[in-house]
Structure 1
Amino acid sequence: MAGKKASKATTTDGAEAAPDGAKSGGVVGIALLAVGALATSFATVYFLTPSAPVEATPACAPGESPAVAESSIKPNQSYVELRDILVTIGSEPATRYIKLKIAIICDTGNTTIVTDAEPVLIDAFTNYLRSVELTDFENPGFYSHMRDQLGRRSQLVLGGGVSDGVLITEFLLR
């Protein structure tokens, strides 16, 4: 018979070691692993659950209606659209540009002030937009920052009581 015998090695104290290729641990190792996983799962849930009872959110009574959110549009608010703004972006050759259409938010009585100041507004917006790098537009958080910066410039040009901010109605980066 041509059978293969597993070779056994002896340790220094004379005890026989496991044969070559034999796995150690077996069922006991798997059981210990399962017990450890259960213990850590229990500990995670136990220690991360708030100790105080969570109050239920109040529900509307059958005859009540829920509170309605206030509108951000004021009754006497107007929007004055400016001409398109076209600015090259970056310091490289003029291959990339941004095209914006902006509306100024103001009270109805201040629309003529905004219309008269349109060239100064466009100049202030253009100066800011020329300082923006192409990499800034790759950051999604930049767009709210850009709207805030344009709003600040409109308030500087028109005064704090005239401009209530800006809306970017069209945006093209090419």
Structure 2
Amino acid sequence: MLGIALLAVGALASSFATVFFLTPATVPDAPVCEVTESATPAAAAIKENQSYVELRDILITIGSAPATRYLKMKVAIISDSGDLPAVHDAEPVLIDAFTNYLRSVELSDFENPGFYSHMRDQLDRRSQLVLGNGVSDGVLITEFLLR
């Protein structure tokens, strides 16, 4: 009889614990992420006299082993409309700077999702070095194919 009583108390305690611990907590009425009026935009606004200079395709092999993979990429330089001739004239040097950087990248780097923003920053830095500060306002990767 004592065994049945202990079994009943154990079953009652486990039932109570299951209901108590598995019941969802009350959800607060306030939103988790409050929207503020001073939020900054994610991307900079497009300037009125801003232009985009699309460079020719970049096609390189990836990795240091016998190349079985290649990268085909198209890049555009963001610049003021008055600086377009400087960007067009520097296109071979820009392609060379981008190619030298991309050849140093390993295939495993492309598997990291955070690498793409780093790659865009590196390409932007090289465009600023080639064109001089103030000419390049950024780099856009308009096509990207890794095979």
1:80-91 equivalences under 5 Å are 80-91=53-64
The amino acid that maps onto 1:33 is S
Deviations 1:17-68 (A, max 9, x none): x7xxxx99644323212322344457x848xx88xx848x79xxxxxxxxxx
Q: What's 1:165 paired with?
A: 138
1:156 matched to 2:113 = no
Which ranges of 4 or more aligned residues in structure 1 deviate by more than 3 Å?
23-27, 37-42
**Runs of 5+ unmatched residues, structure 1:** 1-17, 59-68
CA distance in structure 2 between the aligned counterparts of 1:24 and 1:171, rounded to whole angstroms: 71
Q: What's 2:70 paired with?
A: 97
1:19-168 equivalences under 5 Å are 26-40=7-21, 45=25, 54=30, 72-168=45-141
The amino acid that maps onto 2:120 is R
Larger CA Rg, structure 1 vs 2: 1
* Deviation, structure 1 residue 135: 0.7
CA distance in structure 2 between the aligned counterparts of 1:118 and 1:76, rounded to whole angstroms: 21
* Deviation, structure 1 residue 153: 0.8
Which stretch of structure 1 is more off in the superposition, 159-168 or 23-32?
23-32
* Deviation, structure 1 residue 71: 6.9
Counting helix residues as a fraction of each chain, which structure ranks higher? 2
* Deviation, structure 1 residue 97: 0.7
Deviations 1:108-143 (A, max 9, x none): 000111111111111110111001000111112211
CA distance in structure 2 between the aligned counterparts of 1:112 and 1:94, rounded to whole angstroms: 36
* Count of aligned positions: 138
Q: What's 2:38 paired with?
A: none
CA distance in structure 2 between the aligned counterparts of 1:103 and 1:24, rounded to whole angstroms: 79
The root-mean-square deviation of aligned C-alpha atoms, in Å, is 3.1
CA distance in structure 2 between the aligned counterparts of 1:132 and 1:24, rounded to whole angstroms: 71
Identity of aligned residues (%): 65
**Runs of 5+ unmatched residues, structure 2:** 36-40
